[in-house]
Amino acid sequence: MAAAAPTLEWERELAAQGYFAVAGCDEVGRGSLAGPVSVGVVIIHPDTARELPGVKDSKLLRVSVREALVPAIIDWAAASAVGHAQAPEIDALGLVSALRLAGSRAMAQAAVTVIPDFVILDGNQDWLSAPEQDLFSHSHEAEAAVAPWRIQTRIKADMTCLSVAAASVLAKVERDGIMTGLAQEFPAFGWDSNMGYGTVAHKAAIASEGPTDHHRKTWRLL
């Protein structure tokens, strides 16, 4: 049986609690061996937003459908953005801090248009907020920690919350475009099909060609 489409039910519950601008946030590329980790943000006004037919968790959609939905999502959202942390940043910072960096970049870009007061984060880990010990530092993590929005995680939010599903589509399409472009420069690794994930063919290419600057060199690549 097909999964139920995501709705605005929870976003509207938040509106009833007084939240004016709600951001859905999702990441893609967490488990990839190459390329960036990317975070999509879609901000809506849930008291006036309408349902957006066809939008689902990006993993459930064909490539052509995802790509066709992007203009509709951008028009539907009050604000949207995708942020990235590149492989060298992942190696230098670690995955969680790199996710935070990518998310902070996306939030900063989207907040130029609309500042959210609530963020729905897919999953059960809040990787967007800064660790408590960094609250008084001057890092990008501290900036995220004092940001004027509440963050709440929600398991499978990309399958139930429309704003998060929309964010997942934007992040997936933009990151796939990056990997497809890099595949032209590094054709041996098949990034236009595996998107940097650890397929057998990708690992075989790493073994024969060696890693590139777009590989996460601190990871176990083989």
Annotated binding residues for a divalent metal cation, written as ranges, equal 26-27, 122
DSSP code of 59? G
DSSP string, 130-152: PPGGGTTS-SHHHHHHTSSSEEE
Provide the annotated binding site: 26-27, 122
How far is 28 from 158, CA to CA, in rounded Å?
11
Q: Edge to edge, what strands does the sheet with 79-85 contain?
A: 79-85, 37-44, 22-28, 118-122, 150-154
> Residue 198 contacts by C-beta under 8 Å, 6 or more apart in sequence?
31, 32, 33, 221
